[in-house]
Amino acid sequence: MSETVQPMTDSSTRTGQRPMISLQGVSKTYPKQSKPAVAELSLDVPEGAIVMLIGPSGCGKTTTLKMMNRLIEPSSGRILLDGDDVTDVNGDQLRRRIGYVIQQVGLFPHLTIADNVAVVPKMLGWDKARVTRRVDELLRLVGMEPGDFRDRYPRQLSGGQQQRVGVARGLAADPPVMLMDEPFGAIDPITRERLQEEFLEVQRQVAKTICFVTHDLSEAVKLGDRIAVFGPGGRLAQYDTPDEVLTNPADEFVAEFVGSGAAVRRLSLLELSRLELEEVVISSGGAPTNRHPVLAVNDAGRPERWLHLPGSGDPPPLVVVPLSGTVYDAVDVMLDGRAPLVVVVDDDGQPRGALRWDALVGDLRTKGRLP
Amino acid sequence: MTAVTAGPAPAAQAPPRQRSWARQNWDLVVTPALVLGGLAAVLGWASVHQWDSVESRALQPSYLWARFTEHVWLAVASTVLVIAIALPLGILLSRPAVGRLRTGTLAFGGFMQALPPYGVIILLAFILGFGTTTAIIALVLASFLPVLTNTVVGLRHVDPALIEAARGMGMSARQTLWRVEIPLAVPVMVAGIRVALVLNVGTATLATFISAGGLGEPISSMLKLGRPEAAFVVSAIVAALALLIDWLAGLAERIVAGRTA
């Protein structure tokens, strides 16, 4: 129960190996409770990684998060931040070095958006000009025009806008570490999706080390470089890449938690650029070969329609998916267009190959594990 | 729209919102208009009424003014004292650590509140002697609870998420209190102070029974001497004073509520 669970593979190149946050044998037992909320937890969060803490209610994931900035004091164990033992330093000072974003957002209703974002920089004693510059920079980063929003009050913003400000506020003093407690949990699905995209975009720019509590497996798979699955009794059941968690659950609990939707969720992890695509022939007026599908292109070289598909009569409708998309996107357009195959195009709209429905199903079944 | 004269709009608000503030708060002119109109009618009637020499002495402007200032002093001094004691105590009792002490203190406060001010004033006079000081202490006791409860309730009702956000960003407990909790609880606290102030203006009429002056003095003496018309005129002044002070406090309440809502 107390072993350190190390990720077996590191498929992501954007994360380093140095642990930014390191929990060492951390436990938390609340007063008047016999069982610990978190038991002997050891967990390393690599620098620049997004680690998703997930699990059923009451499994200790939020407690774990709050112990990282010592909003909840651990009963035992050590907490290291960037190599420094912070178990006993002043908690308020520590928290000013760590970004914190919560589900209820918690924007102060009596302060303007700018003043909300500026709370930590002001506490750190930044001069006025620097604070103003930083606030504007952050509002722009989260896609809110400073001129429009700086002087508004939180109640004048929509839920999604408020959470954007919440993220900006967490980033205000440029902390190396961000802790996020279900930040998109209370937001409608469409806005949530957009915020997740924006969040990844922001992370590409700021490259923070992020711990993110969620109860939504899709969110964990979408955002996480690593997923830490918590089991009953505050036990860390598995700590690995999303792909490993979905394909090789460590135990029955994880398997059950990941559930029957795992195969479909994996589709969104597999990028088309990593697949061996089927060759397509660009029509040059010559006779159709029997081996490859034949595609007509326009003057710009973009796909126009299918001319010939081996093994079938009428050419199928043309659907297109960008190379930067995932298998999930490919499946989506195929289902939507009732097409048995999809043309994969690069950024310039040039065809790079095709993906067949049949090949897709066969491929996923035979390959078993993803690269 | 005449409502623009209702009172100064909060300075922090931008011009485009000023008109809507006036529109929302037009009702604020109704109270002073009615009160001043009623008072003017009573005073107008008093100026043409035939008073005898006893009544004339009681209604003499210089005499009434002296009683009026005493009255205001009693009410204001006691309210200031209540604020000075009940606010800090309420803040202390709102802290999570006090727990059971909070319930106990508020229960005791409820018990004190149930005592009739009339009785408290007389009893205190026997213990502390007659005079203004005793009257002020009695008024403080009578109006303590609304300020205390509202302070506690206002602070306890601040959204826990805001407190968590504040602590999570590295505010100390004290910074959280001053920068987040108190600013957000101020409207509720001000409402409590308003209640205390109005209670004190009314209760201060009892101060005359322990020779602490105030507008209660001409009222009770005119009643004793069988001259209800003169007592009525002074009573009208007390009522107008209470209503106008309540109106002013209400104005203050709305301004602070508008800032933090």
Q: Tell me, what's the ipTM? A: 0.73
DSSP A156: G
Confidence of residue B13 (pLDDT cuts 50, 70, 90): very low
Confidence of residue A8 (pLDDT cuts 50, 70, 90): very low
Angle between helices A128-141 and A159-171 (to 10 degrees): 130
Q: Do A71 and B169 touch (CB under 8 A)?
A: no
Query: What separation in angstroms does the CA of B158 have from each of A297, A329, A334, B176?
Result: 64, 45, 52, 11
Mutate to test the interface with A, among B20, B169, B189 (most CBs of A within 10 A): B169
Q: Do A169 and B171 touch (CB under 8 A)?
A: no
CA distance A34 to chain B (A): 23
CA distance A93 to chain B (A): 6
Query: Is residue B39 pLDDT above 80, yes or no?
Result: yes
Supply the pLDDT for residue A65.
Answer: 94
C-beta atoms surrounding A96 within 10 Å: 22
Q: Do B161 and A104 touch (CB under 8 A)?
A: yes
DSSP A270: S
**Nearest C-alpha in B relative to A69:** B168
Q: Do A95 and B159 touch (CB under 8 A)?
A: no
Query: Is residue A362 pLDDT above 90, yes or no?
Result: no
- Selected residue with higher pLDDT from B97 and A196: A196
Using an 8 Å Cβ cutoff, are A229 and A238 in contact? yes
Task: Name the residue among B162, B172, B179 with its Cβ closest to that of A106.
Answer: B162
Supply the pLDDT for residue A363.
Answer: 56
Confidence of residue A288 (pLDDT cuts 50, 70, 90): low
Q: Rounded mean pLDDT of chain B?
A: 85
Q: Is B174 exposed, middle or buried (0-12, 13-18, 19+ CB in 10 A)?
A: exposed
Find the angle CA(A28)-CA(A33)-CA(A39) to the nearest 5 degrees: 30
Instruction: Flag the least confident range among A62-66, A80-84, B111-115.
Output: B111-115
**Nearest C-alpha in B relative to A94:** B170
What dihedral angle (degrees, nearest 10) is formed by the CA atoms of A298, A302, A305, A309? 120
Q: Do A102 and B164 touch (CB under 8 A)?
A: yes
Task: Name the residue among B161, B180, B183 with its Cβ closest to that of A102.
Answer: B161
Angle between helices B182-203 and B228-260 (to 10 degrees): 180
DSSP letter string, B26-95: GGGGHHHHHHHHHHHHHHHHHHHS---HHHHHHT-HHHHHHHHHHHHHHHHHHHHHHHHHHHHHHHHHHS
Kindly state the percentage of chain B with pLDDT values over 70: 90
Supply the pLDDT for residue A322.
Answer: 87
At A54-68, the pLDDT tens digits run 988 888 899 999 999
At A265-285, the pLDDT tens digits run 777 777 777 777 888 888 766
Give me the residues paired with residue A326 across strands: A271
Kindly state the percentage of chain A with pLDDT values over 70: 90
CA distance B54 to chain A (A): 57
Supply the pLDDT for residue B83.
Answer: 95
Instruction: Flag the least confident range among A211-220, A354-363, B87-96.
Output: A354-363
Q: Do B169 and A69 touch (CB under 8 A)?
A: no
Q: Do A155 and B171 touch (CB under 8 A)?
A: no
Lookup result for tokens 């598995």: A238
CB pairs under 8 A between A and B: 64
C-beta atoms surrounding B13 within 10 Å: 14
Query: Is residue B99 pLDDT above 70, yes or no?
Result: yes
Supply the pLDDT for residue A210.
Answer: 95
Supply the pLDDT for residue A279.
Answer: 81
Outline where A124-172 has alpha helix (H).
Answer: 128-141, 146-149, 159-171
Mutate to test the interface with B, among A89, A95, A98, A150 (most CBs of B within 10 A): A95
Using an 8 Å Cβ cutoff, are B92 and B124 in contact? no
Outline where A207-324 has alpha helix (H).
Answer: 217-223, 242-247, 252-258, 262-267
Kindly state the percentage of chain B with pLDDT values over 90: 51
At A147-164, the pLDDT tens digits run 999 999 999 999 889 999
Query: Is residue A83 pLDDT above 70, yes or no?
Result: yes
Confidence of residue A203 (pLDDT cuts 50, 70, 90): very high
Supply the pLDDT for residue A287.
Answer: 58
Supply the pLDDT for residue A208.
Answer: 93
At B156-212, the pLDDT tens digits run 999 999 999 999 999 999 999 999 999 999 989 999 999 999 999 999 999 988 888
Q: Give the mean pLDDT of B89-114.
A: 85
Residue among A94, A150, A107, A154 nearest B171 (CA):
A94
